[in-house]
Every structure is written in C-alpha cells, then in structure tokens.
Structure 1
C-alpha cells in the first residue's frame, strides 16, 4: 500500500522561489521512496527464504552421505501451468486436524527391518512425537515401505541399502513432529520452517505432521504418493542430493525438485527412479 506523500499536499511555492531548490527537494523525496522500495523488497526476500536459501547442502561424492541442511519453502499457490486440486479435495485436506504442539519428546518405533538394496548400508530409526495422535508403528511401516522400495526408491540405484533399527547407532532418524517441534528441531540447523514444511539437517529428517496429513495442493487425494515424495526428498538431502528443476514439460517431476513451489510443466512424481531404473532428475536449481 502506497503511503501518502506529505509534499503532495504542500501549497504552491511563493513567487520568486528558486526553481533549482524545488528540484533538489523532489529528488530527495524520490531517493527516499526508491530506498524504501528496495528495503521492502529485501525484507520480503529474507522472510521468504529465512536467510538460508539452499544452506549447507553438500553434493554426494565418493559414496559418502552428506549431513545436508535444508528446508523446503512454500509458495502461495500452484503455478498456472500445473494442475490445481479440486475444491472438494482441498476442503477435505484443510479439515484434517492436528495439534500445533506436541509433548516435545519422541517415542521410537519398536522392531526393525531386514536390509534392502545393494549399496552402502544406512541404518535408520523412526521417532514420533508424543501428543500428536500418530502411531509410531504405523508411521514406521509407511517409512519402511518407501525406503525399502528396491524398484523405484533410493534403494533401487545400487548405491544405498537401508535397514530400520530401534536400538544401537543409526545413520539418520526420521521424525514425525508437530509444527512447533519441527520449527524447534530445524531451527537448530539455522532453518526457518515456518510451522509448515519439512526439513533435513545433520542426521535428522523431520516430517511436519501438518504436511503429512494435509499434503500439498498438487497431491490432494493421493496421500501415499505425497508421503513417498516427502520421505524421498528429505532422505535424498541426507544422501547428499541438491535441489533440481523440472527437466521438461510433461516429464515426471524429480523428487529433489521443490514441487511445493510449482511443477513448472512437470507432472507429479514421488520416486527418485522411474520404472526403467533410471534416476529422475533435472538441471540444478539456482
């Protein structure tokens, strides 16, 4: 909203006033206005990106998983080139309830899995925050089904294998947390998740229960596919992958693309590999 300019209400200058001085005052007002616009734009960008766009993400090399630090930002609305959710689906998603805060402590899912995949073994645990109404065993089974997928998951590429454990050392932990606790954990890595998005930092993969239950605009009515995307994206950062962009119109959106910010001509996809065992990727994001 434009502010009123006090000079616009000034009386006309008296006869004999010096024109150069009047021009100088107008230039000063114009300079202040330009500076104000620049400050507003800068502040807006800082708020959107939390001061950490792409912070701390390391590219995979030498087969070593990176301790990635990243949060996925939200956009106000889907791009016009991407399909929009039906009003019924959007309404159903927005009606899903969840607590903004849990107990702040996590319950680890019991049991574990065998080893899936044929690459470097990464052991993971699954924790669910108390007080958010989610069952640790059920959530762990969903995570297992995604990470143990040797056809299209990260275990399909021959680089990594996964095994869930409930005791002993782990390479990373998948947390399901309330928006408040998500912000707290992610904030330890300098990330601003705004109570809305997921993050990956160090050995912590944090899934916001709000996103898990409400999904995103593009995945309304397809919770299993969105859950695959959320886990594969954040674990992908743990493996050292950076963000990429859409490879071309009509092609599957890579899981390392920030799909919540728009599909940009791609179609939804929650898996890192396609049916032919090829990595779904695109140009590096800038």
Structure 2
C-alpha cells in the first residue's frame, strides 16, 4: 500500500486495476455531492477483467496469518457504486464521507460502520496526534476523502490480487475497506475485531496522508500503524508472504515480532 499521492499506486497487495482506476482518476471530472467518485462494473465482470484478479484455481498452499480468518459469511458481490451514509461529525479539518457499496448490507446497518470510522479519525491516538484533523460530511457536502466499505469481489478487483489474500487499499482520494476483512478481521488481531477495524481505517488513511509501509522496529514493541498487520506483525512472516512483490519498503527477516496496534501514536 505504498502511496503516491493522488495517483494509482502498486503496493503488492494494494494493486489498483488499471481499467477500473481510469474511471476515477483519468476522467478529470468530479462528481456532484453525494455521487460516487468512481463506478466499477458489477464485480463478476470487474474481477474477470482485472489485471491481477484471482486465478480460476489457486495452487494449494499452507495457511499463513495473512489468510482470512473463519467467521460469518461475507458480502461477495456489490454493484460497483456507493451510497453515502447520512450524518456529519466534527467541525474542522479535511472533509470525508463514509460510504457503503450498493448491494453490501452490514449486519447492523450502515451507521455502526460510520461510527467506527468517526471514532478512528477523531481519537487522540489517531492521526490527530500527528496534527491531522477530519470532519465528516454527507450527501450535502464536498468530501476530499471517501471511506468506502466494499464487497469482497470489488475490493479484489480494485486493490489487486497478486497476493492471494483479502486486503483493503487507498486509490487516489478514496479508501476501499474490504467487507471480508471488516467482518472477519485478521489473525494478528484475533479476539479484537474492533481494534482491527480501527487499524484498517488508520492504515489506509495513512496512505492518503502520504505515509508508506513500515516494518517491526523492535521485538515486542507495538507495531507501527503503517506495518501490514493484516498479513502479519512478524517481519519474518511478512517477508515470506510478500516475497517477490514491491511493498515500498525493504522487509528484512530479522526475527522481530511486534504487538498488534491500531493507532498512529504508540
């Protein structure tokens, strides 16, 4: 999820499908308030046409911490358009909207998803600790950042599937949070789904702010929020999982393992 501000970027697991990005980044048009900044074809077509979409049959491999944990059914397909969750939050800072892909129905509705996003962006240990403020707008506002809960297939088509793991990503001014991860989390955060969700928001917003990936600096320390904790908090395993891909950072298998951490301020 290496960031190149406001252009598509390749980060191993956050690879943007070129055909889909053209809709958002190359048209040169800004949608009216409340309309999605990008539309993708129905995922059944989008995934089939994406450069790094999942192969028809994956080779057998051993389980790693990067695999999606077991859990409830996940929204596999969406419409490729997003609805804005009504409501505002905060009064100053970068305006953002909270959106849910049409066809995705969170178990408790859209509002709890928005509440987690609001909490993550307003918390003193969040990006506020680095001097960044955010305020939420809805269909009547003009967001500079869109945070979108996205079906499994759409997330894979947009974020890429070079590595065979569900992930989220930031493309331009939009953050795409995989609903599969939102509902099941990651092995590093076992037993702390709320913590993982907070991490996912802060990690992808960190890319929006211009931050790249990091590794575990000290054995036993809290993991940097820009570490790919969705995959692992151990440098050895992260290096093995991402071998042969460009993550924007040199990952040295040095035996260091950090504790999961959802916050920019450790």
TM-score range, shorter chain: 0.5 to 0.7
TM-score (norm 1): 0.61
In the TM superposition, what is the alpha-carbon distance from 1:104 to its structure 2 partner?
2.6
- CA 224–95 in structure 1, closer or farther in 2 if over 3 Å, else same: closer
Please state if 1:271 is matched with 2:247.
Answer: no
Residue 260 of structure 1: aligned partner: 230
Which string of whole-angstrom CA distances, capped at 9 and with x for unpartnered residues, describes residues 219-256 of structure 1? Answer: 12101110111000000000000101111101000010
CA contact (8 A) 1:106 1:128 kept: yes
* Distance (Å, rounded) in 2 between the aligned partners of 1:195 and 1:242: 20
- By relative contact order (CA 8 Å, sep 6+), the higher-ranking structure is 2
Residue 168 of structure 1: aligned partner: 141
User: Can you give the 5+ residue segments of structure 2 that lack an aligned partner in the other structure?
Assistant: 15-61, 235-256
In the TM superposition, what is the alpha-carbon distance from 1:193 to its structure 2 partner?
7.4
In the TM superposition, what is the alpha-carbon distance from 1:107 to its structure 2 partner?
1.4
In the TM superposition, what is the alpha-carbon distance from 1:70 to its structure 2 partner?
5.3
SS of the residue 1:170 aligns to: coil
CA contact (8 A) 1:123 1:170 kept: yes
Q: Which runs of 4+ in 1 moved over 4 A?
A: 191-195
Residue 245 of structure 1: aligned partner: 215
Residue 202 of structure 1: aligned partner: 172
Please state if 1:147 is matched with 2:121.
Answer: yes
For residues 117-132 of structure 1, the aligned pairs below 5 Å read 121-132=93-104
Please state if 1:224 is matched with 2:194.
Answer: yes
In the TM superposition, what is the alpha-carbon distance from 1:72 to its structure 2 partner?
6.3
* Distance (Å, rounded) in 2 between the aligned partners of 1:95 and 1:272: 28
CA RMSD of aligned residues (A): 2.5
| Larger relative helix fraction | 1
For residues 1-286 of structure 1, the aligned pairs below 5 Å read 57-58=3-4, 66-67=5-6, 69=9, 73=13, 76-78=63-65, 93-115=69-91, 121-134=93-106, 135-149=109-123, 151-158=124-131, 160-166=132-138, 167-186=140-159, 196-264=166-234, 265-274=257-266
* Distance (Å, rounded) in 1 between the aligned partners of 2:210 and 2:133: 15
- CA 125–259 in structure 1, closer or farther in 2 if over 3 Å, else same: same
* Distance (Å, rounded) in 1 between the aligned partners of 2:172 and 2:204: 11
* Distance (Å, rounded) in 1 between the aligned partners of 2:190 and 2:12: 18
In the TM superposition, what is the alpha-carbon distance from 1:262 to its structure 2 partner?
2.3
Alignment length (residue pairs): 192
* Distance (Å, rounded) in 2 between the aligned partners of 1:148 and 1:70: 29
- CA 199–239 in structure 1, closer or farther in 2 if over 3 Å, else same: same
